[in-house]
Structure 1
Amino acid sequence: MKLLCLSNGHGEDVIAVRVIEALRQKTQQLEVVALPIVGDGTAYHRSSIPIIAPAKKMPSGGFIYMDARELWRDVRGGLIALTLAQLKAVRRWGKERGMILAVGDIVPLLFAWLSQTNYTFVGTAKSEYYLRNEVGWLPKTSVWERKLGSVYLPWERCLLKHRRCQGVFPRDELTTNILQKFHIQAYNFGNPMMDGLIPEALIVEELETQRSLRVLLLPGSRSPEAERNWELILEAVENIIIRETKRKLCFFAPIAPSLDLNPFCEPLEARGWQLNTTTSPSTPVRDEKGLEFYQGMTRLLLTQSAYHSCLLASDLAIAMAGTATEQFVGLGKPVITFPGKGPQYTYRFAEAQTRLLGASVILVKKPSQVVEIIRELFSDPDRLQLIADNGKRRMGVNNASSRIAEHLLTF
C-alpha cells in the first residue's frame, strides 16, 4: 500500500503518525511518505517517515486565519513559494495512484483533492458542536450558519462527497451524523486525539486522607505566547495558594519539549518558589527528569518528558492551550480558562473552545476568578459528573487510529 499523509500542524502530524503506526502493526506492505504543510514535521522525523517536499516553520506558527498581520508575515517569510512547491510535489506523487490521508482542515483536504488520486480525511479542526449540540442550534449560531446546515461549508462538503474521497473520519458522533445527512461517507471511528495517552512516568497514588488537589497548568506550546500565558497562569496559582489554605495542593506544568525552560523557571523564582535540589521527586508524578519547585507545603512540577502522566494524574486544569485542553476534557475532567493576548489564545479562541467542549470548559475574565470556580466545582458532585460525561461524549472514544487503519487497508 502506498500512502501519503498531509497535515497542517504539529497536533495533526502526531495524529497522522498514530495512524501510520497502527498500519505498520497490521501490514508489512506499506510505503509511506508525508508532507507537513505547516511546521517542520518533527513527529514524522521522529518516526523515520520521509518528507516529499520542503517543510518550514512560518512566523505565525499556523495561525494566519486569526490575524491579517500574521498572514503578511508568512508571505514575507516565503509562504507562497513554499505552498507552490508543496502542491507540485503532491501532484507529482498523485501520479503514483496511492492513497492520501489528509489530517486537519480545508488546506490538506484541498491539497488531497488537487492530487488527482484517492484520498481520505481526518477532520480535526471542525465539529458541529461549534454551532449546535444534541438538542439544537446554539443561541450564538447565526441565521446564515443555520441555512448552510453544517459547520462544514458547501465547498468543503463538495470535496468530502467527491468520488475520489474514500472516507471521512470526523472528531465526534454528532458531526458524523450531520455529514451523513449530506450523503458523505462519514464514519464514527472515535477521536485519534485520545489515542496513545500512556503515562511516561510513574504516578503514585496518595492516601485519600492525605491526597492533594492536583492542578494541571497548560500555557500552550508556541513561543513567545506560551511564556506570556505562563505569567497569567501563575497569577491564578498565587490566588489559589493564598485562599485554599485548608487543602493540600500540587501543580503539574508539562512544557513543550521545543521550548526553553528558563523563561518558565525565572517567574517561579521571582514569586518565591524554590527549586528542590536535595531530595528525590515528591509529587505524585515521579519524573526524574523534571524540575520540582516548592513553596511551603505546595509542590509544582515542571516537566518536558511526562506530559501524559500529568494529564492522567490531574483533577482539573488551568489551560490556555488547544489540543492539550481537548485531550484533558476527553478524560472527563474540568478546565478553567481565561483569554490571553494571542496570537492563538485570544478571547475569540477561548470562546470558540467553550462552544466546542461545552460544560467541561469554564471561561472567566481574569486569573483571580479561577479560585472561586474551583470551590464551586468541588462542592457540586453532580456538576463534576455532568462534566465527566460531557467530555467523553464530545471528544469520542479512543483507539480511533486503529479503526482508521483498518479502513485504509480495505483499498
Structure 2
Amino acid sequence: VYALGVGAVFGGRPLFLMQCRSSLRVGGRPYSVTERLLMRRAARVYPREPEGAAWLKARGVPQACYLGNPMLDALDGGPLELPPPYLLLLPGSREDAYQSLPLMLEACRRLRDTALTPVVAWAGLPLERLRLEGFELEATGSGEGVTHQLCHPDGTVVYLTQRAFRSALLGSRVALSTSGTAAEQAAGYGVPLVGFPTRGPQYTPLFAEVQKRLLGEALTLTAPNPEALARGVLELLASEERRERARAAGKAAMGEPGAAARIALDIHQHLQAIVSEPAQSRSR
C-alpha cells in the first residue's frame, strides 16, 4: 500500500505494479480494499500467480495481467565445478542459517550412501560466526563457486558455494531448506524441498506452515533434527512418484522462468502505444 501510494502521488503516469509478494495460496485476502483501490490507478498490475490475476479482475482491477513470477529470474549464474546430482543445502540469508546449517551437515553424514554431492548455497553471512561441531571449515582460495569445504573425520565433505546458485539448482536432486526466497526459487526449478522450523528470526514454525501452503507438495516439513531430515530426503529419493508430484507442485506455485523479460516487454509495448497516440492524432 505504501509503495502504491507513493507511486500514485509522486510517480506520475503511467504506473506499473509488479507484485511478487502476495499470494492467494496462503489463505485469507492477500490484497486489501485500499490496495485494490490504488491498483486501479495503475496501467498494469502483474501478480505472481494466475489465481491472483483472476481474483483481482473479479474485484475491480481489470488491468491485472499474469505473465509469470520474476523471482525465478534473479539467480546468480556462476559455474560450479562439482559432479551432480547435488544434495542442496539452503540455510537462508538470515540468522537462522547459523542454527540450521549444523543440523543439515549432520544429516549429510547420514546420507553419505546416496551418492549425492552435498552443496551449500551460502548467502553471504559472515562465516566467522558459524559454530560447527566435528566439521572443519577450509577455504579453497576461490571468490566464487566452491569457496570453502566442510570436512568431517568420518570422510563427509560438504562444499560451501557462493554466487553459483543457478548452477547449484540445475544440478540438484533434492534440497534441505530453512530459506524463504531461495526455497521458492528451488521449488520453481523443480527441486523437492525438505524444510524444518528454527527458533527464528525468519523460519519459525508459523513461517514454515505458510510456506507449506504456498508450495504444497514441493515442500516436506520435518522435525528439526538430523535423523528426521535424513529420513525426509531418503523418502523422497525412494519414490519417483513423490518427486514428480513435488516438481509439479513447485512449478504450479512459481510458474515458468522468463517473467522478467515478458513483463519488461509488456511495459515497453504499453509505453510505445502511449507515445504513438499523439502522432496518430496529428495525422488524423
- Is TM (by shorter chain) over 0.5? yes
C-alpha deviation, 1:198, in angstroms: 6.0
1:376 aligned partner, one-letter code = E
- Comparing 296-305 with 395-404, greater Cα deviation is found at 296-305
Does the CA-based 8 Å contact 1:232-1:367 persist in structure 2?
Answer: no
Q: Which runs of 5+ in 2 are unaligned?
A: 272-284
Cα distance, 1:328 vs structure 2 = 0.4
Mapped contact 1:217–1:317 kept (Cα < 8 A): yes
In structure 2, the partner of 1:294 is: 151
Partner of 1:126: 22
Q: Which residue of 2 aligns with 1:94?
A: none
Worse-matched range after superposition: 185-194 or 172-181: 172-181
Deviations 1:94-148 (A, max 9, x none): xxxxxxxxxxxx33223223326231111111111112xxxxxxxxxxxxx4xxx
Normalising by structure 1, what TM-score?
Answer: 0.59
Give the aligned partner of residue 168 of structure 1.
45
Q: Distance in 2 between matches of 1:173 and 1:298?
A: 43
Task: Measure, in 1, the Cα distance between the counterparts of 2:231 and 2:33.
Answer: 43
Aligned residue among 199, 216, 222 for 2:88: 216
Q: 1:263 aligns with which of 129, 132, 137?
A: 129
Can you list the C-alpha shifts for 1:67-95, whole angstroms capped at 9, x where unaligned? xxxxxxxxxxxxxxxxxxxxxxxxxxxxx
Identify the residue that residue 121 of structure 2 maps to in structure 1: 254
Match of 2:66 among 158, 182, 188: 188
| Stretch of structure 1 that moved more, 188-197 or 387-396 | 188-197
Unpaired runs of 5+ residues, structure 1, are 1-105, 132-144, 207-212
Looking at structure 2, the residues matched to 107 and 357 of structure 1 have their Cα atoms a distance apart, in angstroms, of 27
Partner amino acid, structure 1, of 2:158: L
Q: Tell me which residue corresponds to 2:279.
A: none
State the Cα deviation string for residues 143-189 of structure 1 (Å, max 9, x = none).
xx4xxxx421222111112xx31111011112112212223111111
| CA shift digits 1:289-347 (9 cap, x unpaired) | 61123334432112223222222222222111111111001001111111112222211
Q: In structure 1, what is the Cα distance between the partners aligned to 2:145 and 2:119? A: 14
Q: Which residues of 2 match residues 1-400 of structure 1 at below 5 A?
A: 106-115=1-10, 117-118=12-13, 119-131=15-27, 145=28, 150-161=29-40, 164-184=41-61, 185-197=63-75, 199-205=77-83, 214-222=86-94, 225-226=95-96, 229-242=97-110, 244-257=111-124, 259-264=125-130, 266-267=131-132, 270-273=133-136, 275=138, 290-295=147-152, 296-368=154-226, 369-400=228-259
TM-score between both structures, scaled by the size of structure 2: 0.84
What amino acid is aligned across from residue 319 of structure 1 in structure 2?
Answer: S
2:184, 2:254 within 8 Å by CA — same for their partners in 1? yes
Cα distance in 2 between the residues matched to 1:192 and 1:116: 22
The structural deviation recorded for 1:200 is 0.4
Q: Residue 288 and residue 347 in structure 1: after superposition, are their counterparts in 2 closer, same or farther (change >3 A)?
A: closer
The separation in 1 between residues aligned to 2:262 and 2:98, in whole angstroms, is: 37
> Aligned-pair RMSD on alpha carbons?
2.5
Matched-pair identity in % = 30
Letter in 2 for 1:399: G
Higher relative contact order (CA 8 A, sep 6+): 2
Q: What number of residue pairs does the alignment pair up?
A: 266
Corresponding letter in the other structure for 1:128: L
**Deviation at residue 249 of structure 1 after TM alignment:** 4.0
Alpha-carbon spacing, 1:346–1:204, altered in 2? closer, same or farther (3 Å): closer
**Distance (whole Å) between structure 2 residues aligned to residue 167 and residue 160 of structure 1:** 8
Counterparts of 2:81 and 2:219, CA distance in 1: 25
Please give the secondary structure, in 2, of the residue aligned with 1:315.
Answer: strand
Contact 1:317–1:335 (8 Å) recurs in 2:
yes
User: Which residue identity is paired with 1:406?
Assistant: L
| Matches of 1:231 and 1:198, distance apart in 2 | 24
Contact 1:220 1:320 in 2 (8 A): yes
What amino acid sits opposite 1:317 in the alignment?
Answer: A
| Superimposed CA distance per residue, residues 209-243 of structure 1 (whole angstroms, 9 cap, x where no aligned partner) | xxxx6222222213xx14xx33333224314423x
User: CA separation of 1:373/1:325 partners in 2, compared to 1, >3 Å: closer, same or farther?
Assistant: same
Q: Residues 203 and 347 from structure 1, CA distance in 2 versus in 1: closer, same or farther, beyond 3 angstroms?
A: same
SS of residue paired to 2:123: coil
1:364 CA drift (Å): 1.8
- CA distance in structure 1 between the aligned counterparts of 2:25 and 2:261, rounded to whole angstroms: 25
Query: Which letter maps to 1:261?
Result: L
The 8 Å contact of residues 45 and 65 in structure 2, kept in 1 or not, is answered as yes
